[in-house]
Amino acid sequence: MSDKPAYIIVDVDIHNPEEYERYKQKVVPIVTSFGGKYLARGGEMDIINDGLWRPTRMVLLTFPSASIAREFMESDAYAPVRKMREDNSTGTLVILEGI
């Protein structure tokens, strides 16, 4: 297991803000239980270069490792909450290993 931290980077377009608020409330304790922490969550962006894509709403989390980030994403605890996210938004999610 790598001892490098990892980041989950999400660009999300929310279609149902009320249900997405419920998702946000439910996901935080699950993230925390896997040692994760939010670093940014929909803050103001200054887009410098948009040659590949134009970000919508960015979320950045850190986890102790990429394997733990993946465990969180694939966990039974997160599965129903993940469905809430997928049902009420579209987006791109990446797990990035840090240095």
Cα separations in angstroms, 32 against 40, 50, 51, 62: 15, 32, 34, 10
Residue 77 corresponds to which amino acid?
A
- Report whether pLDDT(1) > 70: no
pLDDT digits (tens, 9 = 90+) for 3-57: 899 999 999 999 999 999 999 999 999 999 999 999 999 999 999 999 999 999 9
Domain contains 1: no
Domain contains 14: yes
SS3 92: strand
d(CA 19, CA 24): 9
Domain contains 22: yes
Domain contains 49: no
- How is residue 44 annotated by DSSP? -
The residue segments making up the domain with residue 60 are 6-44+55-97
Q: For the whole model, what pTM was predicted?
A: 0.93
Read off the tokens for 72: 């969180």
pLDDT at 3: 84
79: CATH: 3.30.70.100
Domain count, the chain: 1
Domain contains 20: yes
